[in-house]
Amino acid sequence: MAEYVRLTAGDPAPWFRQRTAANQNFALDTVAGRYIALCFFASAANAHAAAAIEAVKQRTDIFNDVKASFFGVSVDPKDELQARIPDRPPGIRFFLDYNARVSALYGATPKDAGDVIGDITYRQFWVILDPTLRLIAAIPFAEDRSDIAQALSLLEHLPAPSNFAGFEVAAPILILPNVFEQPFCAGLIDLYERNGGEDSGFMREVGGKTVGVIDYAHKRRRDYVIADESIIDRTKTLILRRIVPEILKVHQFRVTRMERYIVCCYDAAEEAHFRAHRDNTTSGTAHRRFAVSINLNDDFEGGEVTFPEYGTRSYKPPAGGAVVFSCSLLHAVKRVTRGRRYAFLPFLYDDAAAKLREENNARLGDGVSVYKGDA
């Protein structure tokens, strides 16, 4: 007898990557911060499925990538070939789940169905997720198609994403003023100004390897890598004294390692920003446990750190102050609109994570520095 996954309200939604028309490797977790409607309809050739899709298209007030996003899930290649399910951003997109991996994760197909759909029973239903990607409801297709109105009504009456819990939820982060003294901040800014910075990319998994990517639409920033050992030692000392004890107190995690010694610059002249991302999603970054963002100045506008899963509030600590957060949290840096934002941005981890980092050396692409176990 076929066994299906059965998810219910309160369960965390399985994360996955799957192809859409515009993205070969679309990651569900990157769209947290709004309500998500997943509709497992199997094939748009089905009259019920077609009615559901048409109803969604009429509700741009809901599906606008602000309050909610709709993702239909098709296992029928003819849907794409016959242009039955074109994406309509903002708000409406389709996963092309021809190997049924997403369908199996959510229980639309059996756990052991493999890549071939064949004659198996496909369970058609809606899944509604909250902004932290936890299930609000699973709504099966009904013979009278009442599920369509039920799903849309539920989404329509949900509060704004920032109040999904009934009130505004604070992001689970630490705000720590006075980590770096003002003269030290000024010295780090001067170090950047004297040496300049280089385009800062980000890591992406391509063909099983972690590679560096430059994409100004996703991230625009310049970094200077600190070479002076005395300055590096000073940053270590201050973080050890002023951040590590707080992480131990709040998270019961003992930091022993630190990665990356850079002064970064987000420049308004370049419309610098960093779109929503997580810091540990590749083999080369999986060891990272906590990110630290220390502002070196505060005479700029924009450039705040945000955590979309927990509302629209943004965070801008004073010069010398830090935002500290788990690398698993979705976060972004708003576009700088005036001046320059300078920051010191290390990652913290422990000895167990260091072993993982070393093991993952074999999965690093060309141009990505190999870890030697000495940091």
Say if 135 falls within a structural domain: yes
* Whether residues 262 and 340 fall in one domain: yes
**CATH code of the domain containing 148:** 3.40.30.10
Give residue-wise pLDDT tens across range 347-361. 999 999 999 999 998
Residue 242: phi and psi, rounded to 5, are -115, -15
Say what the pLDDT of residue 116 is: 53
Within a domain: residue 305? yes
- Same domain? For 195 and 123 the reply is no
DSSP-assigned letters across all residues of 237-280: HHHHHHTHHHHHHHH-----EEE--EEEEEEGGGT-EEEEE-S-
Nearest to 96 by CA among 22, 207, 13: 22
- The answer to whether residue 3 sits within a structural domain is no
Instruction: Using alpha carbons only, give the angle 302, 308, 313 rounded to the nearest 5 degrees.
Output: 50
The pLDDT of residue 121 is 83
Same-domain pairing of 191 and 229 = yes
Dump pLDDT digits (tens) for 276-298: 999 999 999 999 999 999 999 99
Range of the domain at 133: 17-163
Query: Do both 272 and 190 map to the same domain?
Result: yes
Give per-residue pLDDT as tens, 10-59.
999 999 999 999 999 999 999 999 999 999 999 999 999 999 999 999 99
The string of pLDDT tens digits covering residues 81-110 is 999 999 999 999 999 999 999 999 999 999
Which of 15, 9, 10 shows the shortest CA–CA distance to 330?
15
Do residues 246 and 316 both lie within one domain? Answer: yes
Tell me the pLDDT tens digit for each residue of 156-214.
999 999 999 999 999 999 999 999 999 999 999 999 999 999 999 888 888 788 888 88
Count of CB atoms within 10 A of residue 347's CB? 19
Please give the Cα distance from 373 to 141 (Å, whole number): 53
Pick from 121, 136, 163: which residue ends a domain? 163
pLDDT at 265 over 70: yes
Q: Which tens digits make up the pLDDT trace of 212-222?
A: 888 999 999 99
pLDDT tens digits along 231-257: 999 999 999 999 999 999 999 999 999
> What CATH number should be reported for the domain holding residue 330?
2.60.120.620
* Residue 29 sits in the same domain as residue 106: yes
The answer to whether position 332 is within a domain reads yes
Asked whether residue 115 carries a pLDDT value surpassing 60, the answer given is: no
Q: Is the pLDDT of residue 119 over 90?
A: no
Distance of CA 111 to the CA centre of its chain: 26
Do residues 124 and 93 both lie within one domain?
Answer: yes
Instruction: Tell me how many degrees the CA angle 309-315-321 measures, rounded to the nearest 5.
Output: 130
- Tally of domains within the chain: 2
pLDDT > 90: percent of the chain: 89
112 and 243: one domain?
A: no
**Which runs of consecutive H residues, i.e. helices, occur in 58-134?**
77-81, 101-106
pLDDT tens sequence across 179-192: 999 999 999 999 99
Distance CA 7, CA 179 (A): 44
Task: Return d(Cα 74, Cα 241) in angstroms, integer.
Answer: 53
